């Protein structure tokens, strides 16, 4: 991919993003595609595994069902089709589950097949908001996130790439459960090589990309690939991520009291409770329990800016005045620290904002500044950790917020990722990355 085409792809993507972000805040077996409706996945038989073999005995990445649907944006069909695969993967607790990925092939393929796995930032506690549902005709604000992202993948389609879009949170919308995002992504990349309709072969090169919630899926897929899916690891040429959740225990403190992002705190408690089958609501006070019940199916679109100034102390019982006082939360959060398990096998691009005050989040006295929801010092430490292990890493830091950083990150990330499909050596900024925060596990303080 030459530099000129990379720049063109980036320019088109960022132009489209500006328009879409302005709109958003305002509001194996073949199965026939379903009739258009607003029904969620729980009402759609395509999402149910009905095979005779117990799912736990099915090999990860196995295709269970296949269908082709018109690619839809808020129920309006585009002149594109998506191949959707129901495939076997695992959840955060290691249990076998059936999940869906959507594959969109380029209208005019250029050269050999190339795949970009785009991990969505749909961030929701409602399975009806996942990309596969949005693409197959889902409507509303929740599915609207994945609809907006259509503008981000369109330039890659024009550049001849096949796009893989997994439902990273799994079938039960396990929001914030990072490793699960990685498993669902890796098994989706196995599955797409096993369905002829995708046109993807077992040696097709793959690039990973994602921002915010999409960065969770992309990073964890890259981190887990060597051990969990070495067959996929061999094909990954690079991973580009931005707005990165490195140490969730730190983020709980950083977001505390934020004007825009405080509502993510209860979303995370619900998602982690669900993913790890732990009742974190038992530590909440009556106000907190009511809030957790209210948000049990919430989308990020319902959380941002809705609970300005919400604090941890305001929703928990007095004896649990800090997250460190909740033993199961400490255990879960420590298992979500990026870079604590493995090392990616391919180069990485990382971008992170530091202008969180623009979105009502003040710098933390210990962890420092971030983009309003993610902590920059944690991201620098992750980059330095991977550098120390011999990985080529490019790190960029922006004096912008979570929403505004993407406008700078996206063209850089696309240009970098497209370059990884060529023969050129990966660049590195490892010698220029400033020190960050300790990524040591939280200590229980109950």
For the cut 50, the answer to whether the pLDDT of residue 139 exceeds it is yes
pLDDT at 39 over 50: no
User: How big is the CA angle at 210 (ends 279 and 170), to the nearest 5 degrees?
Assistant: 35
pLDDT in tens, 76-101: 999 999 999 999 999 999 999 999 99
Provide the token pair at 159: 């550049």
pLDDT band for position 236 (50/70/90)?
very high
User: Is the residue at 319 inside a domain?
Assistant: no
Residues 201-220: what's their mean pLDDT? 97
Which of 193, 203, 185, 225 is closest to 63 using CA atoms?
193
Please check the confidence at residue 203 and state whether its pLDDT lies above 60: yes
Task: Tell me the Ramachandran region of residue 372: left when phi exceeds 0, alpha when psi lies from -120 to 50, beta otherwise.
Answer: left
Flag whether 321 is in a domain.
no
Task: Tell whether the model's pLDDT for residue 9 goes beyond 70.
Answer: no
pLDDT tens digits along 45-80: 999 999 999 999 999 999 999 999 999 999 999 999
Q: Is 309 buried (19+), middle (13-18) or exposed (0-12) by CB count in 10 A?
A: exposed
d(CA 397, CA 353) in angstroms, rounded, equals 6
In a domain, residue 260? The reply is no
Domain count, the chain: 1
Of the chain, the percentage scoring pLDDT greater than 70 comes to: 91
CA distance 98 to 49: 6
**What would the mean pLDDT of 109-128 be, rounded to a whole number?**
93
Closest CA to 193 of 229, 157, 169: 229
Query: 17: domain CATH number?
Result: 3.40.50.1820
Mean pLDDT of 168-196: 98
Q: Is residue 445 part of a domain?
A: no
Structure confidence at residue 26 (pLDDT): 38
Q: Listing from the earlier edge strand, what are the strands of the sheet with 393-398?
A: 63-73, 76-90, 96-104, 162-166, 115-119, 206-211, 236-242, 348-353, 393-398
The pLDDT-based confidence of 23 (bands split at 50, 70, 90) is: very low
Cα separation, 329 vs 325, in Å, equals 8
In a domain, 347, yes or no: yes
For residue 12, pLDDT over 80 is answered with no
Q: What pLDDT, on the 0 to 100 scale, is given for residue 10?
A: 54
Task: Give the confidence band of 112 by pLDDT, cuts at 50, 70, 90.
Answer: confident
Q: Report yes or no on 289 lying in a domain.
A: no
pLDDT of residue 38: 41
Task: Note the pLDDT of residue 31.
Answer: 36
Average pLDDT over residues 331-357: 97
Helix, strand or coil, per DSSP, at residue 25: helix
Give pLDDT, residue 34.
38
Degrees to nearest 5, angle at CA 195 with 122 and 89: 50
- Residue 15 clears pLDDT 60, i.e. is over it: no
**Position 114 in a domain:** yes
Picking from 2-6, 218-222, 342-346, 409-413, which range would have the lowest pLDDT averaged per residue? 2-6
Domain that holds residue 38: 3-246+336-432
The pLDDT, as a whole number, for residue 251 is 98
Q: What is the Cα–Cα distance from 392 to 53, expressed in whole angstroms?
A: 43
At 22 the pLDDT is 41
Predicted local distance difference test score (pLDDT) of residue 18: 46
pTM, two decimals, is 0.94
pLDDT at 37: 39
pLDDT at 30: 39
Rounded to an integer, the average pLDDT of 290-317 is 97
Please list the helix, strand and coil fractions of the chain in percent, rounded to the nearest 5, in that order: 40, 20, 40
Which residue, chain included where needed, has tokens 């269970």?
64
Whole-number mean pLDDT of the chain?
92
Domain assignment of residue 407, yes or no: yes
Residues 345-359, mean pLDDT to the nearest whole number = 98
Once rounded to an integer, what is the mean pLDDT over residues 25-46? 49
Q: pLDDT digits over 140-161, tens only?
A: 988 999 999 999 999 999 999 9
């Amino acid at each position: 991919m030459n530099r000129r085409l990379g720049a063109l792809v980036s320019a088109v993507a960022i132009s489209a993003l500006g328009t879409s972000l302005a709109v958003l805040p305002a509001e194996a077996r073949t199965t026939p595609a379903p009739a258009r409706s607003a029904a969620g996945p729980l009402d759609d038989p395509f999402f149910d595994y009905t095979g005779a073999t117990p799912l736990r005995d099915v090999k990860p990445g196995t295709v269970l069902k296949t269908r082709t649907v018109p690619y839809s944006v808020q129920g309006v069909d585009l002149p594109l089709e998506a191949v959707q695969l129901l495939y076997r993967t695992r959840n955060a607790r290691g249990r076998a589950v059936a999940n869906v990925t959507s594959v969109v092939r380029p209208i005019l393929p250029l050269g050999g097949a190339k795949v970009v796995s785009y991990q969505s930032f749909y961030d929701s506690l409602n399975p009806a908001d996942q990309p596969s549902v949005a693409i197959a005709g889902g409507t509303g604000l929740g599915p609207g996130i994945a609809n907006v992202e259509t503008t981000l993948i369109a330039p890659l389609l024009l550049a001849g790439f096949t796009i893989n879009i997994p439902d990273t949170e799994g079938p039960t919308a396990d929001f914030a459960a990072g490793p699960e995002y990685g498993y669902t992504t890796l098994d989706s990349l196995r599955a797409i090589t096993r369905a002829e309709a995708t046109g993807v072969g077992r040696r097709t090169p793959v690039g990973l990309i994602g921002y915010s919630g999409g960065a969770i899926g992309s990073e964890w897929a890259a981190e887990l690939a060597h051990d969990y899916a070495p067959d996929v690891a061999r094909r990954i040429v690079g991973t580009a991520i931005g707005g990165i959740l490195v140490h969730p225990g730190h983020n709980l403190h950083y977001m505390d009291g934020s004007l825009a992002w405080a509502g993510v705190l209860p979303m995370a408690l619900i998602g982690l409770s669900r993913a790890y089958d732990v009742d974190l609501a038992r530590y909440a006070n009556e106000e907190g329990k009511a809030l957790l019940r209210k948000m049990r199916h919430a989308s990020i679109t319902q959380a941002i800016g809705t609970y300005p100034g919400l604090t941890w102390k305001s929703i928990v019982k007095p004896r649990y005045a800090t997250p460190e006082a909740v033993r199961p939360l400490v255990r879960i959060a420590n298992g979500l620290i990026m870079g604590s398990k493995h090392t990616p096998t391919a180069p990485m691009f990382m971008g992170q904002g530091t202008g969180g005050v623009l979105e009502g989040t003040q710098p933390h006295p210990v962890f420092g500044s971030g983009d309003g929801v993610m902590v920059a010092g944690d991201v620098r430490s992750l980059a330095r950790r991977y550098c120390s292990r011999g990985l080529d890493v490019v790190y960029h830091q922006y004096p912008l917020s979570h929403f505004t950083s993407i406008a700078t990150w996206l063209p850089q990330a696309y240009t970098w990722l497209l370059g990884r499909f060529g023969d050129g050596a990966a660049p590195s900024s490892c010698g220029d990355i400033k020190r960050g925060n300790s990524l040591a596990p939280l200590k229980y303080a109950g």
